[in-house]
A and B are shown apart, each in its own frame.
Chain A
């Protein structure tokens, strides 16, 4: 039980930091993807073609 308590003491804060950093990075990549998609759509008038 002591062992469990000792590892959660450092692992949970580490998880919060790592997860937060990943979320920020992924938000950045999502915005970059949406901007890129909008640019390509505008350039090629994507609405008229289909895959």
Chain B
């Protein structure tokens, strides 16, 4: 039995390492290619499409004014932009702050609508109500804490115009604007940078596979209406919509220059709640879409499901088992220093256990390497402090993923058994 567990762990970690190597190879090819590509800001944007920018906001008076200012000041023809801010069931001054902003002389002539909403459905419900009013050819979504860079929308639509018949959605990159606050926000920053500059780029470069990140993306309005809007029962509406777009044969393209800053949790409790929701939502999406593994849909969808399923189920179980093997053996070896008669329950033939340690060491090395490739690609982030955090975060921050995943899976199972409806949790903002 112990031998079978060991073999399962080793082979699973090999596959995880292989996946990491393939994605990183794609990311390396992408960054080298991007280095040789020059981007230009067009002088004449008459041929650019019209866009409806939607900002769902639930009690966001701390951050909303700054966010909408950034959106109204984007480098995009004002007559081609419709802005809809959805003050969704707000008990604070979100709507009031928006009316004050709208009254400013600079924005008086803009197509800027404030929807004071009391409906249901959370973020998805708010976006669906805004979708009914959308006049633009594309819908652009920014969360209420976003600060898009001046040309973010331009780069998103520019990418969409490259292959308008193929690209159903285009997503940009999000950066943590409060990354220097504490150890947690520094770790989240490393994760964000790595996901966006290694995982997203690698998957896009090799497989033309993308996932909508929830903010800083555009999606064709007609496609969104054809899908039937955002799924109000989905916990992570962004992942759910990504699968809906892919199943319609459309691609979700990456526009790497379209960058926006967002606020990340600064407290562990806020972080855990946010990530538990994400994990639970991703489990739900995997289960909902598992059927596509066996139907006639595109290989991209199957690959996408396998990628999620491997990350959230398979590799997680393998890491938990290998952690148990390591820790048990370390504890027994320590005890054996004082009492040589004590023997670990996990005794293995030959040198097989050594290959588990080698596999684990390779996984750790490529984890650190991926982070440092990502940091090198983000100007100003490749420094000694971030290198040290990248080495330490595996043993601290990354292990939280295990706790979060187990809690989320347990919570999902309880929801299914008890027929309980999942409550949507909004991430707390900080001043």
Contact = CB atoms under 8 A, between A and B. Distances in A.
Given A40-B377, A51-B380, A29 B352 contact: no
B378 to A, nearest CB: 8
A12 B351 contact: yes
B376 A37 contact: yes
B369 A26 contact: yes
Interface in A1-49: 4-5, 7-8, 11-12, 15, 18-19, 22-23, 25-26, 29-30, 32-33, 36-37, 39-41, 44, 46, 49
A22 B15 CA distance: 11
Contact of B24 (A11, A12, A29): A29
B141 interface: no
B349 A22 contact: no
Contact of B352 (A15, A44, A46): A15
A51 B193 CA distance: 13
B381 A26 contact: no
Interface residues of A, number: 27
B28 A32 contact: yes
Contact of A26 (B21, B35, B179, B386): B21
Nearest to A32: B28
A8 B352 contact: yes
A37 B21 contact: no
B285 interface: no
Contacts of A36: 28, 31-32, 35, 373, 376-377
Contacts of A22: 14, 17-18, 21, 362
A51 to B, nearest CB: 4
A12 B3 CA distance: 13
Contacts, number: 83
Given A12-B351, A15-B352, A33 B28 contact: yes
B7 A11 contact: yes
Contact of A51 (B32, B352, B383): B383
B350 interface: yes
Contacts of A51: 179-180, 380-383, 385-386
B35 A39 contact: yes
B321 interface: no
B373 A8 contact: no
Given A12-B352, A33-B373, A49 B379 contact: yes
A19 B352 CA distance: 12
A29 B25 CA distance: 7
Interface string B12-43: 00100110010011001001100100000000
A13 to B, nearest CB: 11
Contact of B355 (A5, A12, A32): A12
A18 B334 CA distance: 31
A30 B369 contact: yes
B24 A19 contact: no
Interface of B: 3, 7, 10, 14, 17-18, 21, 24-25, 28, 31-32, 35, 179-180, 349-352, 355, 358-359, 362, 365-366, 369, 372-373, 376-377, 379-383, 385-386
Interface of A: 4-5, 7-8, 11-12, 15, 18-19, 22-23, 25-26, 29-30, 32-33, 36-37, 39-41, 44, 46, 49-51
Closest 7 CB pairs of A and B: A37-B376, A15-B355, A51-B381, A4-B349, A8-B350, A51-B380, A49-B380
Given A19-B359, A26-B21, A29-B366, 6 more contacts: A7-B3, A12-B355, A25-B21, A36-B31, A37-B372, A50-B383
